[in-house]
Every structure is written in C-alpha cells, then in structure tokens.
Amino acid sequence: MLAGLFCLNLQAQEPCQTMPLLHKHIQENPMVKQAMERAENENYEWRKSGAHHPDRVVYTIPTVVHVLYTNATENISNAQIMSQLEILNQDYRRMNPDTGNTRSIFSGLAADVGIEFCLATTDPDGNPTTGITRTPGNPGLLGFYDPFTDNAKSNSLGGKDPWPSDKYLNIWVCPLFPVVLGYAQFPWDDPVTDGVVIGYTAFGTMGTVTAPYDGGRTTVHEVGHWLGLRHIWGDGDCTATDSVIDTPNADAASNGDCDTSKNTCVDTLLNDAPDMVENYMDYSQDNCMNMFTQGQKDRMLFYLNTWRASLLTSEGCSLLPTSHYETLAEKILLYPNPALENVHISIPRELGAPHQIRVFDVQGKEVNMALKGQNELVLERGDHPAGIYFVQIHTARGSITRKVLFSGK
C-alpha cells in the first residue's frame, strides 16, 4: 500500500496524468498497446494518402458532466459547468477572444477544428436530461480521487458509472490529488473507463477555479487527448514526436510558463520555429494557450471519424439543432455592429435570462462595461477606446461569443 502511494506521489508531479495512465494500461493489458499501434498505423496511412476531412463540416459531440463531491464547495454550479462548455466551443471553433495572442509565425497554422460540444439533452434511456449528474462521492481516506485506480468512474469505487462511451463524452469533475489537474483516455483504450477527469479547481472560468488554471484550458487539453492528440513535445526530447507535422519539436514541456523566446530543438521542417508554447497541448498556463494547428485538427478529425465514429450518430443531443453553437449565434442579436456608443443585445425569451455577460478586449483582458436590461439589454461603451471587443453571453440554454466593433467617436 505504501509503495503504491509512493509511486503515485512520483507520478503526481505531472499535472496531466494521461500518459502515465496509458503506460499503466499497457503494462496491465498488452491488447492496449496493440490497439494503439493499429490506430497510429491507420492514422499514418491516412495522412500519407493526403486525405483531409471537409473544412465546412461541424461535428457535435454529446457531453455529460458527472460532478462528484464530498462537500458543498466541490458541488460546482451549473453556471461554472456552462462556462467550461463555452470555452470548449470557443477553442475548438477558433472563436476564443485571445486569438490575437497567437504569434505571427504560427497564426497561419492555427485551425478551426470544427467540433462543438453540447450538454446532453437525452439520457441513455431516451429521457430528457440536463446533461449533468451530481453524486455525493466517496474517494477514500485521503479525500482525493486517484487516476491510477480510476475510482471516479465507478459507482462501486465511490464515483459514478459512465454513460455509454460510444454515445457520450463523459467528463467527471471531482477532487483530484494536489498538482494533478486532469487526465483522459485515448480513443484506442478501454471503452469501459473512457472519458475525461478534471479537478474541480481547474474546470470552467468561475466558481471554484484557481489561477493560473482558471481559463478552462485544462479541459480543452484533456479533450484533445481524448480525441487522439499527444503532448506537443512528444513526451520526450528533440527526437520524440507528437505525430503532427506542423507542431515544432521541443525537448520538454513549457512547465507552466509562457516563454516565447524558447527554441529548444533545431526544427528543419518549420524553418527552426520556436517552441509553440501557445498550443493547447503544451503545459503552459491557461492565459498563454490559444491554438490548435491544422495538423492537430486533421489528427482529431481522423479519430473522431474512425475510432469514435459512433458518437456522430448519437442521439444524446437530439433535442438540439445539429449545430447548437451556430444556432445560438443566429438567435442572439447584437446591433448596431459596428457601433459608436451603445450595443443592443437581444436574447429570445426561450433561451432564458442570461446567467452572465462578460466583455473582453483583443488581448483577452476582461473589460468592465455597463449593462442594463434582462432579455433586451444595452451594453454601454462608456470611455473605452475604439476597437474590437468580444462579448460572452451565458444563457440557460447555452453560451456564445460575439465580436463587436466600437468605432471612433
């Protein structure tokens, strides 16, 4: 028992436990390694053929969030959950307010992945659902859920059984060991324990989140693993690879910094580009991350259309339009745009009153603008300078980000 805890403490120095968990599964079951090699070979042959998935297709993944808690603080709010869904939809559609922070050397590589996430509206039995489950958990003596026993994913181990992983993305939000932010399973791993686990202090952008992991990017990172992406440095030195051609090699993770001067490997394919610390699959802080590459997009869409293809016919979001995010964009009106002074925001009553409206400038910094009204609102520019701003609108039926241009006075 003590030896197991000692091993876990060593592994826990990694904020993302995805790779240690994969190695454990390979040791326990040689079939996992065989499946991984088959998956990677299929992906290699697909890339070698020059195939690409159509850019204009938008895929929607039904998602269920399982909240496990031992006290009221860990029982996070619906608004906090919605804030995470908003970040997932922004970042996987390249609609995040901080796209302007992508360095010019990489801006041409940045991709709209074309994947959206909806909280499930239909449960496995066909009944209406909020897409959120709440369970008083029993993680054990230490009070934290353990990546190496995966006890968050099992009723019998004090957690919550998953919904069918061929129909839903399961995300568990729970107390994890300190330093650990989250972990996920790759598409080729055991479907019985498939899904993503995130610590409640790193999920979403409000409530219980703790800086510097308070921007929702931990979940973006872990869902990237769930869709087949590896860490951008290939979990090795300059000879390692993440199997994506347009991500520069690096000899290590960024270790939480945002050092744009780092160039740890000579990279001939990309004209010796610096380390891509702004990539979601590095270990940078949330306010540094802002992009996936086209190559990462191709890899994720390959796995979504092959090893995770059953999700594309799931009825988990059958009560929503095919592209829920784009439908919200059509229903929520902002006008005039461009505007000189004030912007009117019209939200249909069917979407409910907004939980929260936030405004950000092009650097991703939150801006304090006066807001009046409920479903018919007025956003007052005040003394803020002319320029582009991003308005995040969180409603009871979903969240959306719209771009607004204030012209010169």
Q: How far is CA 192 from CA 31, 62, 155, 184, in A?
A: 14, 17, 13, 13
Residues tagged active-site:
222
Contacts of 17 (CB under 8 A, 6+ apart): 11, 147, 180, 182, 183
Question: Which of 328, 76, 352 lies closest to 202, judged by CA?
Answer: 76
335-341 own/partner pairs: CB under 8 Å, 24+ apart: 337/404, 337/405, 338/404, 338/405, 338/406, 338/407, 339/381, 339/404, 339/405, 339/406, 339/407, 340/381, 340/406, 340/407, 340/409, 341/380, 341/381, 341/409
Q: Three-state secondary structure along the chain? A: CHHHHHHHHHHCCCCECHHHHHHHHHHHCHHHHHHHHHHHHHHHHHHHCCCCCCCCCCEEEEEEEEEEECCCCCCCCHHHHHHHHHHHHHHHCCCCHHHHHCCHHHHCCECCCCEEEEECCECCCCCECCCEEEEECCCCCCCCECCCCCHHHCHHHCCCCCCCCCCCEEEEEECECCCCCEEECCCCCCHHHCCEEEECCCCCCCCCCCCCCCCCHHHHHHHHHHCCCCCCCCCCCCCCCCCCCCCCCCCCCCCCCCCCCCCCCCCCCCCCCCCCCCECCCCCCCCCCCECEHHHHHHHHHHHHCCCHHHHHCCCCCCCCCCHHHHHHHHCEEECCCECCEEEEECCHHHCCCCEEEEEECCCCEECCEEEECCEEEEECCCCCCEEEEEEEEECCEEEEEEEEECCC
